[in-house]
Structure 1
Amino acid sequence: MKAKLLAAAAAISMLAGSVAVAQDAGAGKPVDMVLLPKYLGIIVFDQANNGAQEAAAELKNERPLQFLGPTPENSVAGQIEIVTNATTQGVGAIMISNNSGDQIAPAAKAAHDKGIKVVTWDSPIPSAEGEDVFVAQVDFDETGRVLADMALKILGEAGGEFAILSGSADAANQNAWIKSMNEVLKSDPKFASLKLVDTVYGNDQAETSYNLALALVDKHPNLKLIVAPTTVGAPSAAKALQDEGLCEKIKVTGLGVPSEMLSYTQNGCAPEFALWSFKDLGYLAYQTAYALATGTVKAEEGAVVKAGRLGDRAITKDPTREKGLRILMGPFSLYNAENVEAAAKE
């Protein structure tokens, strides 16, 4: 009996060992990979690159990660050009934070047809054409409710007029969040006092967003809040209101980086805002793309990516897109005067 138990234990041990080997089989394989943000010069995309570099080191990929991006002024054409060039070079995987809507789909499909793994992160390809899987920072439907909840909390039961200051009109993620927020406002009676009066696009350029915030104030004399679902728009709008001495009358909320929102939260211009970890997002995007490129995981519903310190992440259908697949990261973090200073130091 004892011999049988020992044999069974040995078999289980061997099986566990084989599973571990299978899970790590891709580690150490050289894969040329490109991380493509919407554009360069934005702190959250630098944080995503740091996370991707961390994953690259853990996976022992000897090929250096290419962090390539266009300028904000040339984002759409620039992203398409970078994907096309990477395809010509024959890289193993391209990770895209899409700022080009479906305009990038033909280039992504051309890459995919050549066997290159295409993973989107932060912002997907709306049609999912040419895309293996989207690494979503948070649930997009949840984003709309979080934005609506912050708006109601800041304005109170009396509510009032608010406007949205977004990034690019072609950014799939921001468009989805705005759509979700509008649906929440219409479907939930508790938001009946909130009135959306305008939506403008600052193309994630600080000066443009700053000027648009002031234009919203001039255009809507009863405006009480600017909601900016973009980490460039939120501090730009808050600075504009601060410079004009309007923080007592009009507030800002949305998505922001704690270190950039610190002073505006402390002085009351932006009482509350939200975000997630872009470092973790870059880390998860790299883990996913590398697993696909090395063949350890297939881009199909039910497959599981073993994502290092972030644990197992399942590939599921994307509930916000008819044909897309998704890996969900999460969660949201909410920041206010009580926790923003500590978060800004991280």
Structure 2
Amino acid sequence: MKFHTRKPTALAALLLTATFAFAGCGSDDAGDSGSSAEGGDSGGGDLTLTMLPKNLGNAYFDTSTTGADKAAEELGADIEEVGPETGSPDAQVSYINTVAQQGKSALILSANDPDALCDAIEEARSADVKVVTFDADTNPDCRDLFVNAATSEGIAAKQLELISEAIGGSGEIAILSATANATNQNAWIEMMETELADNPDYADIELVDTVYGDDEDQKSFDQTEALLQNHPDLKGIISPTTVGIAAAARYLSDSEFKGKVALTGLGTPNQMREFVEDGTVASFALWNPGDLGYLATYAAAALVDGDITGEEGDSFEAGELGSFEVGADGVVLLGEPFTFNADNIGDFDF
């Protein structure tokens, strides 16, 4: 088994604000990671941490690990990043077992399955390893804490806020979603519909259509074209899916609607950069994986040090991000989604 390790680095993008909040998704290689049979640590303290993302070679998780490295450096902790090349629960089990055998202080894990990892995690916890999940949770009984990027309510509210700003608070809008049965997408859409109906700030905004691109690039591109043909007065599109927003932006950028029809939603900086820089998209949102890794590391340290137990109402300090409180089911919430725009998108690489 290969252990991929990383030394702490200071990333300027992680210093943007005390609410460096983003984000679910990216690709690319694992930065300055190396490998050794022992699994080299970085740092120099008694606090020993292992970062286990869903997979390596993913720029989203590279960014979360950079945040974890920064926190570990501030804490004087040893930290290593390990993980499989592909995202599957079976591939993560052997790494969890090794953490238990090594007697590490804590495991920081983005789980590839909510239940399949629980036996391995329980073995680690039996060896006094604290387990903090981030980005993707396990069954709450399996871990000590879950560091959640953002709530469904926060994601829905942010997208409405951005589209309202983009269209001047009035006009027809549409939603380009993923699949018709996507649980998270449907929850966000339902919350947006409720907010549009109940919030007087949005009284002049009308949702005229919701279509589905099935998280396929070409279908999402075609659905964007259909929306614009079917609704000639359309002023804005919300696409709460990274595939959909990129496809819609590509269509708009090379059409007569560029600069006339606004687009926002959930995307990653690397896929949206060209469309922000050419003026197709003013802003979009996502949670920040750098802050997520940073917060998860401070949460793990607080558990190891006994400052918290993971019970609801526990509170701890997380460096430059400030104070956090543990909520129901051992959940710590990072905050509202982060907004990317022309002023800051150059600071991110995921």
TM-score by length of 2: 0.68
Partner letter of residue 284 of structure 1? Answer: L
Q: Relative CO higher for 1 or 2, CA cutoff 8 Å, sep ≥ 6?
A: 2
The residue that corresponds to 2:206 in the other structure is 193
Hey, what's the Cα distance between the residues in 2 that align with 1:168 and 1:123? 22
The residue that corresponds to 2:75 in the other structure is 59
Partner letter of residue 230 of structure 2? Answer: N
Hey, what's the Cα distance between the residues in 1 that align with 2:74 and 2:179? 33
Hey, what's the Cα distance between the residues in 2 that align with 1:182 and 1:42? 34
The residue that corresponds to 1:272 in the other structure is 283
Classify the secondary structure of the residue corresponding to 1:297.
coil
The residue that corresponds to 1:48 in the other structure is 64
The residue that corresponds to 2:159 in the other structure is 147
- Map 1:93-242 onto structure 2 (within 5 A): 93-97=106-110, 104-114=113-123, 115=125, 116-125=129-138, 128-156=140-168, 158-166=170-178, 176-188=187-199, 190=202, 193-202=206-215, 208=216, 210-220=217-227, 221-222=229-230, 224=234, 225-231=236-242, 233-242=244-253
Hey, what's the Cα distance between the residues in 1 that align with 2:327 and 2:212? 32
**Contact between 1:144 and 1:182, CA under 8 Å: does it hold in 2?**
no
Hey, what's the Cα distance between the residues in 2 that align with 1:171 and 1:311? 32
Displacement of 1:144 in angstroms is 0.8
TM-score by length of 1: 0.69
Displacement of 1:179 in angstroms is 4.5
**Contact between 2:221 and 2:244, CA under 8 Å: does it hold in 1?**
no
**Contact between 1:164 and 1:226, CA under 8 Å: does it hold in 2?**
yes
Hey, what's the Cα distance between the residues in 2 that align with 1:236 and 1:109? 37
Hey, what's the Cα distance between the residues in 2 that align with 1:306 and 1:68? 31
Classify the secondary structure of the residue corresponding to 1:300.
coil
In the alignment, which of 281, 289, 301 is matched to residue 312 of structure 2? 301
Classify the secondary structure of the residue corresponding to 2:316.
strand
Classify the secondary structure of the residue corresponding to 2:80.
coil
Cα offsets for 1:88-135 (capped at 9, x unmatched): 32445443445x6xxx2222432342215442323445x634243221
C-alpha change, 1:82 and 1:332, in structure 2 (3 Å) is: same
**Contact between 2:249 and 2:281, CA under 8 Å: does it hold in 1?**
yes
The residue that corresponds to 1:14 in the other structure is none
> Cα RMSD (Å) of the superposition?
3.5
Hey, what's the Cα distance between the residues in 2 that align with 1:69 and 1:95? 17
Classify the secondary structure of the residue corresponding to 1:105.
coil
Structure 1 residue ranges without an equivalent (≥5): 1-26, 203-207, 318-323
Classify the secondary structure of the residue corresponding to 1:195.
strand
C-alpha change, 1:59 and 1:226, in structure 2 (3 Å) is: same
C-alpha change, 1:179 and 1:197, in structure 2 (3 Å) is: closer
Classify the secondary structure of the residue corresponding to 1:106.
coil
C-alpha change, 1:267 and 1:133, in structure 2 (3 Å) is: same
**Contact between 1:161 and 1:222, CA under 8 Å: does it hold in 2?**
no
Cα offsets for 1:189-245 (capped at 9, x unmatched): 63561234124442xxxxx4x323212135443354442334555334312432456
Hey, what's the Cα distance between the residues in 2 that align with 1:182 and 1:110? 40
What number of residue pairs does the alignment pair up?
A: 291
Classify the secondary structure of the residue corresponding to 1:64.
strand
Say whether residues 1:285 and 2:285 are aligned partners. Answer: no
Say whether residues 1:29 and 2:46 are aligned partners. Answer: yes
Partner letter of residue 344 of structure 1? Answer: G
Q: Which has the higher helix share?
A: 1
